[in-house]
Amino acid sequence: MTNKKVSAIVSCLLLLAILLACVPSRGESPTTAAPTVKPSESPVSKDPWESEWQRIQRDAKKEGEIVIYSSIGPEVREVLTKVMKEKFGVELNVVPGRAPESVARLRKEHAAGLYVADLFMAGTGGTADILGPLGLLDPLDKIIIIPEALNKSAWYGGDLLWADDDRYQIAILASPKPPIVINRSMVRPGEIASYSDLLNPKWKGKMVMEDPSNIGSGNAWFTGASFLVGLDYFRQLARQEPVIGRDSRLLAEWVARGKYPVGIAIKGEELINLKKAGTPIDLVTPKDGTYTTAGAGCLMLVTKAPHPNAARLFVNWALTKEGGAVFSKAHGYQSARLDVPTDFLEPENIRQPGIKYIGMDKPEYWNKKVPMLAIAKEIFQVK
C-alpha cells in the first residue's frame, strides 16, 4: 500500500470520528437556548374594582348573613333568599313590616345602641326623608363599584334612579301603573281612552277610587296625574261623585263583579290577581300618560350596618342586569335597567313608547305627595 493510500484512509477515519462525536448519544436531548422573557409579556393585572369585588364576596361569605327591613311580600323574599344563598353563600334575613313600622323599629334600635339591619328596602316617602336627616342612612353612591351598575346608558332616563338628592335611596324598578280599570262587560273597548272620558255624565256615580287623601296608590296617582292634567281636572272629576275607599281588594272586587264599571287608582297587585283569575277586567293607560313606580323596590344603606360587606354585595348585585332581572321577575314590575327582559311581565307593567310617564320615585315628584294629601281631601271632600 502506497503512502498516498494510507494518508487517504487516515483522513477518512478522522472525518468519521468527528462526525460521530457530533451525534448525541441515546437518552440525550439536543440543548436548546432558554427563551427570553420580555417585560411586556408579564401577566395582565385585574382592574381595581374586580379585586375589590372578589374581596367583598369573600368577606360577605365570612359574615354569613345580611339583614334587610322591608315590606316586600313572601314570594319576593323567597326568591331573593334562594339566590343569595346559592350564588354567594350568604343567608338573607328579611324582617317584614310596613314602612312606618320598620322606620320606628330602626329608630328605637339605634337609639338603644342596637345595630341589626344592614339595608332598608321600601318605597319612597316616609323612609329616606325621615331616616336620612336622623343620620341613620349612609349614601349609596360610595359603595357602588361594578361598572355595569354605574353605566348610565343602561338605565331608564339616562342615569341611576336616585330617589333623593343625598343619594340615600335608589330605585331598581320603574314600572308603569295603569290608573284605570274597567269591567269590559259594561264598558266598550276604547270607550275610556283618556282622563277626559271619565268626565262623561254617563259615569257619574258609577266609579270607585282609592282614597287620594291617604298615602298609597290613590295619592301616588293623584300627585302624578296633577302634572299631566292639572288640579282643575280633579275638581271636575269630583263632580262625577266617585265612591272613595281605602280597601284596595274590595274596590277591585267591586269592579270585577260589575258593581261598578270603572275603578281609578286601585292598587295594581289586586287588579292583576283578579285578571289572572279570569275576571272580565282590563287595565287602561290613558293616552294622557300615567306614572311609574318602584313599589317597594328602593334600596337604602343603614348606617353602622353589622354586615357591611354583605350589604355592599347585595346592592352592587341588585344593580346589575342579572340582579335587575331577578327583582323584576319576582316583583312583577319592570326593571329600571333598559337591558332587562320583559317577556315574563304582564303587558300593563311594561313601559310603552309614546306614553308620558311621571317618575314618582324621583324627588321632584314624590316629595309632593304629602302636601297633595290635604289638597285631595279638600277637592274630594274626604271625611
Q: How far apart are CA 218 and CA 379, in angstroms?
A: 14
* 299 part of a folded domain: yes
Q: Quote the pLDDT of residue 45.
A: 61
209 with 308, same domain? no
Same domain assignment for residues 268 and 209: yes
162 and 234 inside one domain: no
Whether 128 is in a domain gets the answer yes
Structural domain containing residue 96: 51-173+294-345
Looking at the fold, whether 195 and 274 belong to one and the same domain comes out as yes
Q: Is the dihedral of CA 312, 318, 323, 327 positive or negative?
A: positive
Instruction: For residues 347 and 148, give the distance between their C-alpha atoms in angstroms, rounded to a whole number.
Output: 27
Look at residue 362 and tell me if it is in a domain: no
Residue 334 lies in a domain: yes
194 and 227, same domain (yes or no):
yes
Contact in structure between 210 and 251 (CB atoms under 8 Å): yes
Q: Which residues of the chain have pLDDT under 50?
A: 1-10, 12-42
Domain co-membership, 148 together with 60:
yes
Considering the domain architecture, whether residues 250 and 318 belong to the same structural domain is answered as no
Kindly state whether residue 34 falls inside one of the protein's structural domains: no
Strands of the sheet with 175-177, listed across from one edge: 175-177, 290-293, 357-359
Are 170 and 180 within 8 A, CB to CB? no
CB-side neighbour CA atoms (13 Å) of 215: 15
Residues 189, 214 within the same domain: yes
Structural domain contains residue 121: yes
What are the grid coordinates assigned to 99, written together?
Answer: 314602612
Q: For the chain, how many structural domains are there in total?
A: 2
One domain, residues 55 and 159? yes
pLDDT number for residue 383: 86
Residue 99: inside a domain: yes
Same domain (yes/no): 64, 155 = yes
- 77: CB partners within 8 A, 6+ apart: 70, 92, 94, 96
* Closest C-alpha to 118, from 148, 92, 96: 92
Q: Do 238 and 277 belong together in one domain? A: yes
The CATH code of the domain that includes 78 is 3.40.190.10
Residues 61 and 150 in one domain: yes
| Whether the Cβ atoms of residue 205 and residue 378 lie closer than 8 Å to each other | no
Is residue 111 a part of any domain in this protein? yes
Question: What pLDDT does 13 receive?
Answer: 47
60 and 313 Cβ atoms separated by less than 8 Å: yes
Q: Measure the CA–CA gap between 254 and 370, rounded to whole angstroms.
A: 28
Q: Looking at residue 53, what is its pLDDT?
A: 97
The pTM assigned to this predicted structure is: 0.82
